[in-house]
Chain A
Amino acid sequence: MSQGAAAYFPQSLNQISTEDKGPWEVISNIPTSLSSPTRRSVVSTRSREPIDALLRDIGVAINSWVTRFQRELAGLGQLETGWDSYESPAPGPSSIASASACLEMLWGAERSFPPSRIAPSVDGGVVVSFLRDDVRANIEFFDSGEIAAAVARPGHAVRVWEIENTEDDLAEAINDIRDSIGD
């Protein structure tokens, strides 16, 4: 490590073997001829890269749509029977848990597929909706464990189908919806 760069780090870092240094190795190659502020800036950027990446990941996770929808989903658990003023049942824990698992699937998919909204349904279920332009689709999770999906496109008959309560079938339905709304 050069004398200039060494001033930025504790002495112990100099004792790390070349193989173990990782990002620090890059820092040690900074030419000493650089003016001090530039060098400081380069060192600072380089050294913060892994930390920035980590913070970015944490930030993304905290502010991501999945976190936002999970919060909304938890809020649906506070609804009571008659929430719609027509004596409809509130979404039960089972439907909320199923919708939550669906969100995780959408988030974890190779191409993330964010829904447009999460809402309760009058049948005591939770609806995960997808909207693109004037095409809408949704997956409804009922408290009984049943799942149904729908796609509505202008000029076409509404398509509704039941989904088996398995991960494979749900993934298949999500792909179907993704294709239908042209994502």
Chain B
Amino acid sequence: MTSQKRSTTFATRLGIDRPLRMFSFWRSSVAEFSETEYIFQRLTAVGYQEGQSATENAQKMAEQIKIPERLPEQSVNRGRFGKPVDVLFPSWCSHGVVGFQRRCLPEQVSAEASSSKKKIKNPPAVFSLRIEHSPDWFNYAHSDIYTEKNGSRLKPNAKIGRSARKLMREHIASDTSTQMIHEPIPKRFAWLRRRLGL
């Protein structure tokens, strides 16, 4: 997300590498998320082909929607304070954008519930995904998805079972509200095309 890799270019210092609406201008954070509010995240062009079906897109999303584990949070943008394309500025304009509603975030996923052969540990950990608005100066819509384990916020570098994480990814990708909002485009003139909405 933009906050993670803030460009130090002249354009960034001038604030002209992204739309003006993205700047926070001393606005404070808003904690409330409605169930239907959209959340946006980037998708790379790796493995992407034009003209893919909705199912193919869902598969791509299942591969790339990131469940926070190594990082304590996963950066996303909330739909209430920006446009989907905002997650692409300033450096990732050739990427695509996936959007899903707040209600897609799984409430309770058990690490062992989905395992077919492994012995069930006692008691199985229950994971859930939460979101909080964490604006920064360059990106007011910036938010973080974080993982809770048994009701407590997961510490950085804590482990989540592979199957639990995969189940959460598949859960989000399979939701009817999840969709590819912008498809990846070629890198040439990508920034300009995104800025102009082409």
Contacts and interface: CB of A to CB of B under 8 A. Distances in A.
Contacts of B4: 87
A171 interface: no
A138 B174 CA distance: 13
B55 A134 contact: yes
Interface in B152-194: 162-163, 165-167, 169-171, 173-174
Interface of B is mostly: mixed
B75 interface: yes
A86 B74 contact: yes
B92 A131 contact: no
Contact of A129 (B59, B91, B114, B115): B59
Interface in B26-82: 42-44, 46-47, 53-56, 58-60, 62-67, 70-71, 74-75
Interface string A67-94: 0000010000001000111111000000
Contacts of A5: none
A2 interface: no
A148 B163 contact: yes
B9 interface: no
A85 B95 contact: yes
B8 interface: no
B63 A122 contact: yes
Given A119-B46, A120-B46, A162 B58 contact: no
Given A88-B66, A138-B62, A150-B62, A159 B114 contact: yes
Measured as residues with beta carbon below 8 angstroms from the partner, the interface class of chain B is: 35 or more
A86 to B, nearest CB: 5
A28 interface: no
Contacts, number: 107
Contact of A146 (B54, B62, B116, B162): B162
Contacts of A146: 162
Given A152-B62, A162-B118, A123 B71 contact: no
A135 B74 CA distance: 28
Contacts of A162: 114-118, 162-163
Contacts of B59: 116-117, 129, 131, 136, 138
29 contacts: A83-B44, A84-B43, A85-B44, A85-B92, A86-B42, A86-B66, A116-B59, A117-B47, A121-B63, A122-B65, A122-B67, A122-B169, A123-B162, A129-B59, A135-B55, A138-B63, A142-B162, A146-B162, A150-B167, A152-B174, A158-B174, A160-B163, A160-B166, A160-B167, A161-B116, A162-B114, A162-B117, A162-B118, A169-B117
